[in-house]
A = this chain, B = another copy of it.
Amino acid sequence: MAANTRFAVAIHAMGMLAFGDELNVTSDDIARSVRTNPVVVRRLLAQLTRQGLVMVKLGAGGGARLTRPPEQIALSDIYLALGEGPIFQVPLLDETHDCAVGRNVGPVLNAVLLRAEKGLLAELQTITLADVIGKVMRRMKRQGCARHVPGAGKARK
């Protein structure tokens, strides 16, 4: 898998932190839930922490929690915090292009593609972490769910 799952994993992790509420959620908890490696999770959490979305406590009993309620976190906040590069790139067509058209294509394409990405970002701004959690909860209820105690159990193995 070399696909871009970073954003999805980050949302998943943030969702778990929201569930955890006042409790510290460990990278191990998250990793087990996403079926990945704790280090991968910590790398993501480190970025989210640097951007002020998450606070981390070191040492025994440590872990991560949100810095603000999930209603105040838009998915665009998470996306931007990851600092992903542009989705589309324009091969730098030199300013020294021998064709007058060629010299102007690059900047125009850059502007156009940036505009497209803003369309994506605008959509992400309309969705909060709380919305995502709500969708998950409703989906659970529709299926008739069972156990799982949100931040309580924290089944240590």
Could you tell me which A residues sit within 8 Å of B by CB distance?
Answer: 1, 3-5, 7-9, 11-12, 15, 19, 33-36, 75, 85, 87-91, 93-94, 97, 99-102, 104-105, 107-109, 111-113, 115-124, 127, 132, 135-136, 139-140, 143, 145-148, 150
Docked complex Cα distance between A83 and B86 (Å) = 19
The residue in A90, A117, A121 that gathers the most chain B C-beta atoms within 10 A of its C-beta is: A90
Indicate whether A12 sits within 8 Å of B135 (C-beta atoms), given known contacts A5-B91, A100-B147, A147-B100. no
In contact, A111 and B135 (Cβ under 8 angstroms): yes
Main secondary structure of the interface of A (DSSP, over half): helix
Min CB gap A31→B, angstroms:
11
Docked complex Cα distance between A143 and B33 (Å) = 56
What are the residues of chain B within 8 A of A97 when measuring CB–CB?
33
Min CB gap A106→B, angstroms:
9
Docked complex Cα distance between A150 and B101 (Å) = 9
